[in-house]
Amino acid sequence: MGFRKFQAEHIFTGRELLGADQVLITDEKGKVADVVSVKEAGEDIQVVNGWISPGFVNSHCHLELSHMKGLIPEHTGLVDFIIAIVTQRHFPEDEILQAISDAENEMIVSGIVAVGDISNNAISLNQKAKNRLAYYTFLEISGWSPMIADPRFLKGKEYYDLFEQLNSSNCRLSMAAHAPYSVSQKLWGLLQPFFQAKTTSLHNQETDFEDAYFLNKTGDFNRMYEFMQIPTDFFTATGKSSVQSVAHHLHGADKVLLVHDTFTKESDIDYLQKIAADQPNKWQYCLCVNANQYISNALPPIELFREKNCRIVVGTDSLASNHSLSILNELKTIGKFYKTIPLTEQLQWATFNGAAALGFNEQYGEITKGKQPGIILIDGIENNQLTTASAVRRLI
């Protein structure tokens, strides 16, 4: 079997940055054989321009919404965005399937190797079964009225059982609750046994109306429930933030991807750390900055997450709220607004941390002997930061 040897400006291993004096050696499939000094590497070294990195992990996506690209205008705010999704997501099946396949291609071309994908149905199943990317499917259920908890759960469980047939090292699965404001106590109770020792996901604090609703039942969510004719009389304000009101339901989970966290406060982080003090990596703060920009023109408090040593991962969200499914484009936006965050740290969120969060770290997320993480090249890096000209391509 032949070997391939790469030398670049830097090799980012997933956790550390190596210099140009190091050479990455892989087999033809990209399985890492070694990283050695140029002197020891021998002949036939391919010299490339840019940084070599393990393939990206997209920790939050909704493949099944790919057909909604460009449909919803930007900056509507979350409530009108949700109303648009609910009322406009229904399309002919062949169009949805084609968009899913195209979206997957886009992810592969942009250097993504593994995806945490939210599924409210099983329409993405056949594409995932092709095994072109590793998928962690979060079979997501919602239902604010306790009256519909049973039928919603049973329908979701049917889809869950379909996905379970794919269950393999490259196709993982768990149940997930959609968001604090869309899952009743009763439905949480039905979902809870499925979180046990797994990674699950929760859309969290994407708008400040979420906390307003839980704190005192005020704000724009009232308009949403009214529009959707969802009763709310059963709900009493908890006097706590949304995430603090529901976190106990996630007690049994090994890891939880808290997605968006745009309006997460220091007191929320402290609370979450305290209730899972024996699980330091339980809460994974999943940034989807381009979607936050698209929907609300907002950004999550990333500096706060770093100060608090939060575990950070990166996702694209869906094409309904993003112009592309590119992790590089997410990092470009982070770099644009948070100029002091080192690129190596951001790359770790997008590779090593994502793979570990989704349980794909045996193969992905790190350039180290024996793993086959996908080898990508990022160019256009100046002063150790991405530029608008930065691009990514797959070496293997």
Number of H helices, E strands in the chain: 15, 17
Contact 14, 32 (CB under 8 A): no
Contact 366, 54 (CB under 8 A): yes
**Of 50-58, 119-127, 309-317, 350-358: span binding Zn ion (CB under 5 A):** 309-317
Q: Which is nearer to Zn ion, 23 or 65 (CB)?
A: 65
> What is the smallest separation between the CB atom of 7 and Zn ion, expressed in angstroms?
39
C-alpha span between 256 and 233 (Å, rounded): 29
> What is the smallest separation between the CB atom of 68 and Zn ion, expressed in angstroms?
12
Q: Which is nearer to Zn ion, 63 or 377 (CB)?
A: 63
**Of 46-54, 123-131, 170-178, 313-321: span binding Zn ion (CB under 5 A):** 313-321
Q: 145-204: which residues touch Zn ion (CB under 5 A)? A: none
Q: 43-72: which residues touch Zn ion (CB under 5 A)? A: none
> What is the smallest separation between the CB atom of 177 and Zn ion, expressed in angstroms?
13
Q: Which is nearer to Zn ion, 70 or 92 (CB)?
A: 70
Q: What are phi and psi of 156, to 5 degrees?
A: -60, -40
Measured at CB, which residue is nearest to Zn ion?
317
C-alpha span between 257 and 24 (Å, rounded): 32
Q: Which is nearer to Zn ion, 104 or 317 (CB)?
A: 317
> What is the smallest separation between the CB atom of 352 and Zn ion, expressed in angstroms?
22
> What is the smallest separation between the CB atom of 130 and Zn ion, expressed in angstroms?
23
First-to-last C-alpha distance (Å) of the chain: 15
Whole-Å CA distances, 316 to 39, 75, 114, 271, 323: 40, 17, 12, 27, 9
> What is the smallest separation between the CB atom of 257 and Zn ion, expressed in angstroms?
10
| Number of residues near Zn ion (by CB under 5 A) | 1
> What is the smallest separation between the CB atom of 119 and Zn ion, expressed in angstroms?
11
**Judging by beta carbons within 10 Å of its beta carbon (0-12, 13-18, 19+), is residue 39 exposed, middle or buried?**
exposed
Which residue spans within the chain are E strands per DSSP?
A: 3-7, 10-12, 17-18, 22-27, 32-37, 45-47, 51-54, 56-61, 112-119, 134-141, 171-177, 199-204, 255-260, 283-287, 311-314, 375-379, 391-394
User: CA 262: distance to chain centroid?
Assistant: 14
Contact 106, 324 (CB under 8 A): yes
The residue with tokens 């724009």 is 220
C-alpha span between 297 and 318 (Å, rounded): 16
Q: Which is nearer to Zn ion, 210 or 317 (CB)?
A: 317
Q: Does 317 bind Zn ion (CB under 5 A)?
A: yes
**Of 93-101, 314-322, 330-338, 371-379: span binding Zn ion (CB under 5 A):** 314-322
**Of 181-189, 270-278, 311-319, 371-379: span binding Zn ion (CB under 5 A):** 311-319
Q: Which is nearer to Zn ion, 204 or 241 (CB)?
A: 204
**Of 104-112, 129-137, 312-320, 331-339: span binding Zn ion (CB under 5 A):** 312-320
Q: Which is nearer to Zn ion, 104 or 117 (CB)?
A: 117
Structure token pair of residue 356: 């570990």
> What is the smallest separation between the CB atom of 319 and Zn ion, expressed in angstroms?
11
Structure token pair of residue 352: 């090593």
DSSP 291-312: HHHHHHS----HHHHHHTT-EE
Q: Does 210 bind Zn ion (CB under 5 A)?
A: no
Q: Does 140 bind Zn ion (CB under 5 A)?
A: no
Q: Which is nearer to Zn ion, 52 or 302 (CB)?
A: 302
> What is the smallest separation between the CB atom of 64 and Zn ion, expressed in angstroms?
11
- Catalog residues that contact Zn ion under the rule CB under 5 A: 317
